[in-house]
Structure formats: C-alpha cells, structure tokens
A and B are shown apart, each in its own frame.
Chain A
Amino acid sequence: MKNKSLISINDYSKEDQLKILEVAEEFEKKPVQNILQDHVIASLFFEPSTRTRLSFESAANRLGGKIVGFSEASNTSVKKGESLRDSILTVANYSDLIIMRNPLEGSARFASEISPVPIINAGDGSNQHPTQTLLDLYSIKKTQNKLENLHVAFIGDLKYGRTVHSLVIALCNFNTTFHLVSPQELKLPSSVKMFIKEKNLEYNQYVDIEDVTEKADVLYMTRIQKERFSDPLEYERIKDFYVLRKNMIENTKENLTIMHPLPRVNEIEIEVDKSPKAYYFQQALNGVYVRQALISLILGLK
C-alpha cells in the first residue's frame, strides 16, 4: 500500500482493506501516536465538507503530522482560474500526501496520475468516497465480529447514493447476502448489481422495510433527497415511507447493527437512537481510526 493512492475502493485488494481495518483497530486502542512528526499532509477541500475534513485532520493531528491546505476553494488560486493540474503539482512540492475533495467526478483519479505524492480521495462529486466505505467495513466488523457471510440490508435511495454503491461492491468480497429495499424509482443500478452477479451472491429486492428487518444482521439506512424527484408530492410520500421506527426493530436479530452515513433527516426515528443496536454515531467516530491507519500505511509508517 506504500505510496499507493486510494481513489476508488477497488484500487485496494481485499487483503489491503483488511490490513487497514487491522491497523485501525490498533489506533482505536491507542489513538495518539507520534509517528507523523516529520511529515506534512495537504488537505485540499475544493468544496466544503466539514464532517469529512475534520475527521481527516483529526486523524493527521493524532499522528503528530502537520497539515497545510484549504477548506474551500473561494480564497485560493483556484478561484483565480488555476487548473487542478497546477494546484496539485504546486501542493505536491510542499507535502508527502494529498487528501482531496473536489466536486468534479474523476478529479481524484486525474490528480493521482499527475501527482508525485499519493492522493487520498475524500469525495469526487457523486463518484467515489472510499474512506467512507472503509469506515463502514470497520464498523460492521467491529459490531458483528466478522465480515463474511452476513445478511446486509440497504434501505432508501439505492440509485444515487455513492456510499451504498461502494459498500455493496466492497461487501461482494465477503460472501454477503444482500437485501435491497427501495422505492421503484430508486433501485440499485445494474452497473452495481453486476458486481453481485459476478460473484454469484444472493440478492433480493423489496419495497417494504418490514420485509427485511428480521432477516438482517446489518441495516444500512440512507437519506432520500428531494432533488431526485420531479414530483414533490411523490417525494413527501416516499420520504415518510422509508423511515425506520422503534416498533420495527422489536423482533430484529440480537446482533443487529443499524448504520447510517449521516447526516440524517428523518429516516431513523429519534427513539431508535436509544437502542443498543443503533450504531450511526460510533460509526462516524470510527472514521478517524480508519483514516489514521490509511495515512500511516500509505506513508509506510506501519
């Protein structure tokens, strides 16, 4: 993994992914380790994403590294019309690793091809956000004590959510049985189903949440966004239909983990938060350990 950019989750093999989870576990036990003292990390957020940026910067800080960069493009040379190519080549002079978020799809792949230092993709438009996938895998492994042979249910917007797409693709390495719950218009795209079919894994599609609650080891909830619907009434109807309510989790498996990439709107009732099965807040915290592991492995420090 040393010096290897992470742009899409598939850039790393299953073994690499498991190695990251293993090292992340070490960081969870001992979060502050001064191994990055001699390194400079560039954090380039061409569009704001406070949540992701703080998680990365907190990871670098806990490793004792220095951070340079910006949190939005408005005050930088980008605003003056500098190309991404020039921004990356300039920043690469000052840093050992570049973490980048950019609203244009494919920007991270392009950056990794021209940059002399490795790139971590912190989100390129609607395309990829691989560290989210790693933290999701870490959360599943931690709560289920394994990744193999699980029943994982995805609920809500399965069509546009890049988080869902990447996690489905990653889980195809672990003999997962998929339960896909969505309205007709937001079904998982065939380009993603292709990965499930290639591995000959079982998947079923449903319209009702209650068809899967008792089967699942993991319930992965997603937000349904208004801009996906041309008819606002249709949005209102669907939005209230794909809500996980307290009564729905009564007969669920003992080991169930309820996940959500956050931020949540109304798709999980607040009442559910009290259940020990609700895991979405810890899930976000796991992002820091996973990012610590990733940064130190790419820099060859672990």
Chain B
Amino acid sequence: MSEKVKELKVSAIQNGTVIDHIPANALFQVIRILKLERFENMILFATNLESKKYGKKGIIKVSNKFFKPEEVNRIALVAPHATMIEIRDFQVVKKIIVEIPDKINGIVKCFNPNCITNHEQIIQKFTVTDKEDLRIKCHYCEKITVKNNMSFL
C-alpha cells in the first residue's frame, strides 16, 4: 500500500497536525496527554490501522493546532516512535520524531504506594534516568519507576 492510499484512510486536513505511528493501544492516552478531549476544533482519529513496522497503529489529525516541542515530547512515554507532521495548506511543512524528555511532569504515576504523591494532591514529577530502558526517578520519594510499572494519569 502506498503512503498516499494510507493517508486517505483518514481524511486530509488543510492546516494542522497529524500524529502518526501511535501504538493502537495508546491512542486514547495520547489524546488525554495532549488534552485533546477539551479541544474544540475538528479532530479526526483512527486506530487499529495496519502498520508494517509496528503492528496495529493509531493516527490523529488535529485541525488548526500546532504543538510545541515540549508538548510533543510528552507523548513519547506511550508512543516512543510517533511522528508529528505539520500541515499547512495540505502540504507537509515539518516532520518531528518524538523524543523522550529529561523531565516528566504530571503524566505518570509513581509506582511506590508509600510515596507522598499517591496520598496528597501533588503534581507528579520525574527525572528520566535511562532513556533506552525507560527508567524514571520520582522527584519526591526518589524511587525509580521502570517501564513495566508505569501507569498513566
């Protein structure tokens, strides 16, 4: 299947952002992390599309919205291979591959049940200590949360 035909599975947008290569099971997390539930412009999304590289993937198209790099990187934890494509006048003007950021605020829950952040209303904060294996250190309890223990807010 050519790139063009794939694109047609979800209608094209004139101006906005296409977020591609989202693992199918992470689509709704990405919507939540980017706070798209409260967004009022047109949003198109599709999931369980066939992808040669990643099995089943999801795609989101947001009309008239462009993301800052730090916003883009917030989704790296759930969609490490995602790409953000900026569309202006039906043309691709920029393609960004997401990158795992050095600090993560308010996305992941600390795995430690004895951590203060799981008992008080506190924005969870982490420093990424290992980008390859994805290990993050809690700013408060200083414990490491590993990929398999991550749950998202």
A residues sitting closer than 8 Å to B (CB atoms) are: 8, 83-85, 102-107, 109-110, 124-128, 191
Q: Which of A104, A126, A128, A191 contacts B116 (CB 8 A)?
A: A104
Q: Interface readout for B97-130 with A: 1 if CB under 8 Å, 0 if not?
A: 0000000000000101011110111100000000
Q: Which of A8, A85, A105 interacts with B143 by CB under 8 Å?
A: A105
Question: What residues of A have a CB within 8 angstroms of the CB of B122 in the complex?
Answer: 110
Q: Please name all residues of chain B whose beta carbon is closer than 8 Å to the beta carbon of A103 when the two chains form the complex.
A: 114
- Of A102, A109, A124, most buried by chain B (CB within 10 Å of CB) is A109
Is B140's CB under 8 angstroms from A110's CB? yes
Asked whether any CB of chain A lies closer than 8 Å to the CB of B138, the reply is yes
Q: Kindly identify which residue among A85, A106, A191 contacts B141, using a CB–CB cutoff of 8 Å.
A: A106
Q: Which residues on A sit within 8 Å (CB–CB) of B138?
A: 106
Return the chain A residue nearest B137 by Cβ: A191
- In the bound assembly, the distance between CA atoms of A8 and B142 in angstroms comes to 10
Closest B residue by C-beta to A191: B144
For B120, list chain A residues within 8 Å (CB): 83-85, 110
* Sampled A-B contacts (11; CB under 8 Å): A83-B120, A104-B141, A105-B112, A105-B114, A105-B140, A106-B110, A106-B140, A106-B141, A109-B140, A124-B141, A125-B114
Q: Is B65 interfacial (CB 8 A cutoff)?
A: no
Q: How far is the CA of A83 from the CA of B122 in the complex (A)?
A: 11
Given contacts A83-B120, A85-B120, A110-B122, contact A104 B115 (CB under 8 A): yes
CB pair A125–B141 under 8 Å, yes or no, is yes
With CB as the reference atom, state the residue of chain A lying closest to B110: A106
Complex interface: chain A residues within 8 A of B143 (CB): 105, 127
Report whether A127 and B142 are in contact in the complex, using a CB–CB cutoff of 8 Å: yes
- A105 lies within 8 A of B142 (CB): yes
In the complex, which range does the number of interface residues on chain B fall in?
10 to 19
Residue in A83, A84, A109 whose beta carbon sits within 8 Å of that of B139 in the complex: A109
List 9 tightest A-B contacts by C-beta distance, closest first: A106-B140, A105-B141, A106-B141, A106-B116, A107-B116, A104-B116, A109-B140, A110-B116, A106-B115
Sample of 18 further A-B pairs with CB below 8 A, known A109-B139, A110-B120: A83-B120, A84-B119, A84-B120, A105-B112, A105-B114, A105-B141, A105-B142, A106-B115, A106-B140, A106-B141, A106-B142, A107-B116, A109-B116, A110-B116, A110-B122, A125-B141, A128-B142, A191-B144
Q: Give, as a whole number of angstroms, the nearest-CB distance from A159 to chain B.
A: 14
Separation of A105 and B143 alpha carbons in the complex (Å):
9
B141 touches A127 (CB 8 A): yes
CB neighbours of A191 from chain B (8 A): 144
CB-defined contacts of B110 to chain A, threshold 8 Å: 106
CA distance A128 to B141 in the complex (A): 9
CB-nearest residue of chain A to B129: A191
**A124–B140 alpha-carbon span in the complex (Å):** 10
Indicate which residue in B115, B116, B142 contacts A84 across the interface (CB closer than 8 Å).
B116
B142 near A104 (CB under 8 angstroms)?
no
- Residues in B neighbouring A104, C-beta threshold 8 A: 114-116, 119, 141
In whole angstroms, what is the CA distance A107 to B120 when docked?
Answer: 9
Q: Which chain B residues lie closer than 8 Å to A124 at the CB level? A: 116, 141
User: In the complex, which residues of chain A have a beta carbon less than 8 angstroms from the beta carbon of B116?
Assistant: 84, 102, 104-107, 109-110, 124
Which residues of the other chain, A, contact B142 by a CB distance below 8 angstroms? 8, 105-106, 127-128
| Contacting residues, chain B, for A84 (C-beta < 8 A) | 116, 119-120
